[in-house]
Amino acid sequence: MIGRILMATVAAFLVFSPLYAIADPKISKMVTPEAELTQFTMDLADCKMAKKPCLTIKLKVKNVTNAPKRYVSRIVLTDSGKGVGGFIPRKGSPAVVEPGKEASATYPMFHYEIPQNVEIAIDVMK
């Protein structure tokens, strides 16, 4: 009896454990030569609108040129076809990343698991 309870507990831990459920996703990056992607994270965080944890993507871009730039990011979950993106920096006066500086962006998505395939594109806004 105790052995069956222990086996059921271990099996439930393996099935519902975030460490077991999250495999390393395949991430393809297309970053303009005028930028460097210094940070990229995906996690399930609390979402106010969905009332349950949803995928939150955070990225940080560094301007590697000697002129102020504004970037456009596009992130696509290729398995589900969902996408998100925006300007980096989102706002400001002027809305640019100064040379050698970094700017970050956070994108919540209505997706409730860590995706297996992700495409990231960072371009300069023209």
Structure tokens at 123: 């371009």
Residue 102 lies in a domain: yes
In a domain, 98, yes or no: yes
The CATH code of the domain that includes 30 is 2.60.40.3230
Q: Is residue 2 part of a domain?
A: no
Q: Is 9 part of a structural domain of the chain?
A: no
Is the preceding omega at residue 108 within 30 degrees of 0, hence cis? Answer: no
Write out residues in the chain with pLDDT < 50, as ranges.
3-6, 8-21
* Contact criterion met (CB below 8 Å) for 53 and 45: yes
Q: Is residue 81 part of a domain?
A: yes
* pLDDT number for residue 46: 87
Domain count, the chain: 1
Give me the domain span that covers residue 99.
25-124
Q: pTM of the predicted model, to two decimals?
A: 0.76
